[in-house]
């Protein structure tokens, strides 16, 4: 998304460096590699962009639970020091889920951060919120997520930056793109997002169907009694602990550091990362 007369930095013919900032989505939860480390869309995108590019440099500064003040605070400052060609930003999700957060003020913070990156000559791709309408309990936040996502679309139009509009992606309304906690993408979900961003950058991972229509058949619909049991299990194992952390002002990211804080050369060191082929994903 780059309307005429945009303020987006002139994109280099080849992207030679990339920094990812954000929260758990960018960190890569719940896309586990065989060695037990999280990958996620950003690592997958970095691997794709680095193919055939000598001395490609990458850092992932995201940490689960981080809020806007952290992402457009210390993560932004570190990114400006690195001065990469490309930055992806997913920010605001952990703020939007707090009912007392002023979404208008949050959007202003976001736009200020994006403009600082652009003023440094960095190409920016922002990620909107996703639709939680299909998720029991979490659908109560759907209106707030929609409002903030519309703010992000307006920011993209005003600044001319690219936007991966997760809300509009039907594939992400499919339970097969999500982990058991229904809060984070699984490997398939992260592949879908990485492929969408690669398309925006003009460096597709393959045909459009990879992210637009990744499965050949609709998801299996369980009988009502099994859905109810699954919802109760999810509430007990995932929702209650999440609400408990919020009630006590704790975050799953407390005390954690970024997984790839150094702006280093990529030498094929993503263990177990696979490329997508064809229009179907198969098992993660």
- Give me the CATH number covering residue 51: 3.40.50.1110
Residue 174 and residue 206 share a domain: yes
Residue 242 and residue 111 share a domain: no
Residue 237 structural domain: 222-250
Residue 228 and residue 175 share a domain: no
Instruction: Inform me whether the pLDDT recorded for 36 exceeds 60.
Output: yes
pLDDT-above-70 percentage for the chain: 80
Q: Give the pLDDT band of residue 222 (cuts 50, 70, 90).
A: low
Among all chains, which residue has been given the structure tokens 């691997």? Answer: 47
In a domain, residue 274? The reply is no
Sign of the four-CA dihedral 264, 268, 272, 273 = positive
Instruction: Inform me whether the pLDDT recorded for 4 exceeds 80.
Output: no
pLDDT in tens, 232-276: 776 776 666 666 666 556 666 667 899 999 999 986 566 555 544
Residue 228 and residue 98 share a domain: no
Instruction: Inform me whether the pLDDT recorded for 230 exceeds 50.
Output: yes
In a domain, residue 45? The reply is yes
Instruction: Inform me whether the pLDDT recorded for 277 exceeds 60.
Output: no
Least confident among 41-50, 134-143, 162-171:
134-143
Tell me how far apart the alpha carbons of residues 112 and 96 are, in angstroms, rounded to a whole number: 18
Number of domains in the chain: 2
Residue 195 and residue 108 share a domain: yes
Residue 168 and residue 43 share a domain: yes
Section 127-137 average pLDDT:
86
Residue 243 and residue 102 share a domain: no
Residue 160 and residue 227 share a domain: no
In a domain, residue 183? The reply is yes
Section 227-231 average pLDDT:
70
In a domain, residue 240? The reply is yes
Instruction: Inform me whether the pLDDT recorded for 210 exceeds 90.
Output: yes
Instruction: Inform me whether the pLDDT recorded for 69 exceeds 60.
Output: yes
Residue 234 and residue 110 share a domain: no
Residue 106 and residue 54 share a domain: yes
Higher pLDDT, 232 or 53: 53
Count of CB atoms situated within 10 Å of the CB of 30: 19
In the listed set 219, 240, 274, which residue is the last one of a domain according to the structure? 219
pLDDT in tens, 101-120: 999 999 999 999 999 999 99
Average pLDDT, the chain: 86
Provide the Cα torsion 262, 37, 182, 45; round to 10°.
Answer: 50
Q: How far apart are the first and last CA of the chain?
A: 30
Tell me how far apart the alpha carbons of residues 146 and 141 are, in angstroms, rounded to a whole number: 9
In a domain, residue 2? The reply is no
Residue 162's DSSP bridge partners are 125
Section 184-192 average pLDDT:
96
In a domain, residue 114? The reply is yes
Residue 243 and residue 177 share a domain: no
């Amino acid at each position: 998304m780059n309307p005429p007369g945009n303020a987006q930095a002139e994109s280099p013919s080849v992207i030679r460096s990339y920094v990812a900032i954000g929260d758990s989505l960018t960190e890569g939860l719940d896309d586990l590699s065989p060695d037990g480390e999280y990958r996620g869309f950003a690592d997958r995108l970095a691997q794709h962009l680095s193919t055939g590019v000598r001395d490609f440099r990458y850092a992932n500064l995201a940490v689960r639970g981080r809020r806007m003040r952290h992402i457009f605070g210390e993560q932004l400052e570190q990114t400006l020091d690195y001065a990469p060609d490309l930055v992806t930003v997913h920010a605001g999700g952990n703020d939007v889920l707090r009912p007392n957060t002023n979404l208008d003020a949050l959007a202003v913070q976001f736009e200020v951060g994006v403009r600082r990156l652009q003023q440094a000559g960095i190409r920016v791709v922002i990620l909107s919120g996703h639709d939680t309408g299909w998720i029991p309990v979490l659908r109560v936040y759907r209106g707030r997520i929609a409002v903030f996502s519309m703010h992000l679309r307006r920011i993209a139009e005003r600044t001319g930056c690219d936007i991966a509009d997760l809300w509009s992606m039907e594939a992400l309304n499919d339970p097969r793109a999500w982990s058991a906690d229904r809060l984070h993408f699984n490997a398939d979900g992260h592949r879908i997002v990485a492929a969408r961003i690669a398309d925006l950058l003009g460096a597709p991972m393959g045909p459009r169907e990879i992210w637009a229509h990744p499965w050949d058949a609709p998801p299996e619909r369980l009988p009502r009694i099994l859905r109810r049991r699954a919802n109760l299990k999810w509430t007990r194992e995932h929702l209650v602990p999440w609400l408990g952390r919020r009630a006590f002002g704790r975050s799953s990211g407390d005390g954690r550091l970024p997984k790839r804080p150094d702006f280093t050369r990529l030498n094929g060191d993503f263990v177990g990362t696979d490329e997508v082929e064809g229009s179907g994903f198969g098992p993660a």
